[in-house]
């Protein structure tokens, strides 16, 4: 890996800082092209390897797209970050950092309460249908892992119905990062059927509030659901 002459900061990070500053200032916008690798290296006094490493990081984050060739779509172009890019990065950070359970609980309550309230007012028939699919899936005799997947999808559907993209991404990231806690709850409680039945009932009550467009009830039920879930850890 390329490093700076001081040995204290990888040179590719200096390249990242340069591109990030231009993005933050609005100097670079979606659709703009970055200078060619050789030119950018010369501008910043960095090696081409360092520039290449920085571009790989940005591409992995969904910020740029690189395409070889000589046509209109060739070169390195800034793209609008795809919906899942932010969620993936946040979920990974949540997975590797040991945040206190209380912090995660409060974050989930804040986000999912807001999402449930908005979803109750904004939900469309297609949103309700997606929720019903996951509720029906959870009614089947699923093992904890499959049930957890449907559980996450149900919460994601509610966040999507709220219609706030940023809140949706934050909610999805946090919800997916705690997916493994359900499996942990099974081992702690030792009674999968009782836990599954309780979660089914809570989900159904939340859904009914959304169906009735009762935003206060949806928010309260969601908060109770999240707090009860996290009380086991």
Phi (first) and psi of residue 129, to 5 degrees:
-65, -40
| Average pLDDT of the residues in 195-201 | 92
8-17, 22-31, 121-130: which is most confident: 121-130
Residue 5 forms part of a structural domain: no
Same structural domain for residues 73 and 98? no
Same structural domain for residues 74 and 169? no
Query: Distance between CA atoms of 48 and 60, rounded to whole angstroms?
Result: 18
| Average pLDDT of the residues in 47-52 | 92
- CATH code for position 55: 1.10.10.10
Which carries the bigger pLDDT value, residue 180 or residue 209? 209
Domain end call among 52, 78, 104: 78
Give the model's confidence band at 202: pLDDT under 50 very low, under 70 low, under 90 confident, else very high.
very high
Domain end call among 38, 56, 78: 78
Percent of the chain at pLDDT > 70 equals 82
Contacting residues for 80 by C-beta, under 8 A, at least 6 apart = 30
Same structural domain for residues 97 and 202? yes
Same structural domain for residues 111 and 74? no
In total, how many domains does the chain have? 2
pLDDT at 93 > cutoff 80: no
pLDDT at 98 > cutoff 50: yes
Same structural domain for residues 69 and 93? no
Same structural domain for residues 64 and 87? no
Q: Which residue has the tokens 């946090």?
A: 174
Residue range 109-155, pLDDT digits in tens: 999 999 999 999 999 999 999 999 999 999 998 888 899 889 989 99
Give the model's confidence band at 233: pLDDT under 50 very low, under 70 low, under 90 confident, else very high.
low
- CATH code for position 112: 1.20.120.530
The terminus-to-terminus CA distance of the chain in angstroms comes to 41
Same structural domain for residues 150 and 122? yes
Residue 215: domain span: 83-230
Same structural domain for residues 215 and 134? yes
Q: Please state, rounded to an integer, the average pLDDT across all residues of the chain.
A: 85
Query: Distance between CA atoms of 74 and 168, rounded to whole angstroms?
Result: 33
Q: For every residue of the chain, which 3-state class applies, written as one string?
A: CCECCCCCCEHHHHHHHHHHHHHHHCCCCCCCECCCHHHHHHHHCCCHHHHHHHHHHHHHCCCEEEECCCCCCCEEEECCCCHHHHHHHHHHHHHHCCCCHHHHHHHHHHHHHHHHHHHHHHCCHHHHHHHHHHHHHHHCCCCHHHHHHHHHHHHHHHHHHHCCHHHHHHHHHHHHHCHHHHHHHHHHHCCHHHHHHHHHHHHHHHHHHHHCCCHHHHHHHHHHHHHHHHCCC
pLDDT at 6 > cutoff 70: no
pLDDT at 158 > cutoff 90: yes
Give the predicted TM-score (pTM) of the model.
0.73
Residue 3 forms part of a structural domain: no
Residue range 180-192, pLDDT digits in tens: 666 666 666 667 8
Same structural domain for residues 223 and 126? yes
């Amino acid at each position: 890996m390329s490093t700076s002459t001081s040995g204290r900061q990888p040179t590719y990070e200096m390249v990242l800082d340069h591109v990030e500053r231009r993005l933050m200032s609005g100097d670079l916008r979606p659709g703009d092209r970055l200078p060619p690798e050789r030119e950018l290296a010369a501008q910043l006094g960095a090696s081409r390897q360092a520039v290449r490493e920085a571009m790989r990081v940005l591409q992995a984050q969904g910020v740029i797209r690189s395409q070889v060739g000589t046509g209109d779509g060739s070169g390195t172009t800034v793209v609008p970050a795809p919906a899942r890019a932010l969620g993936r990065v946040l979920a990974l950070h949540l997975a590797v950092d040991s945040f206190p359970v209380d912090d995660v609980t409060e974050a989930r309550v804040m986000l999912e309460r807001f999402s449930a309230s908005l979803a109750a007012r904004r939900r469309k028939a297609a949103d309700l249908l997606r929720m019903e699919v996951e509720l029906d899936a959870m009614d089947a005799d699923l093992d904890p892992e499959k049930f957890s997947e449907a559980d996450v999808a149900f919460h994601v559907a509610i966040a999507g119905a709220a219609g706030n993209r940023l809140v949706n991404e934050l909610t999805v990231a946090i919800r997916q990062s705690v997916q493994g806690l359900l499996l942990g709850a099974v081992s702690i409680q030792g009674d999968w059927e009782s836990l599954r039945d309780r979660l089914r009932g809570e989900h159904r009550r939340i859904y009914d509030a959304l169906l009735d467009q009762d935003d206060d009830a949806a928010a309260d039920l969601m908060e109770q659901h999240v707090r009860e879930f996290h009380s086991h850890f």
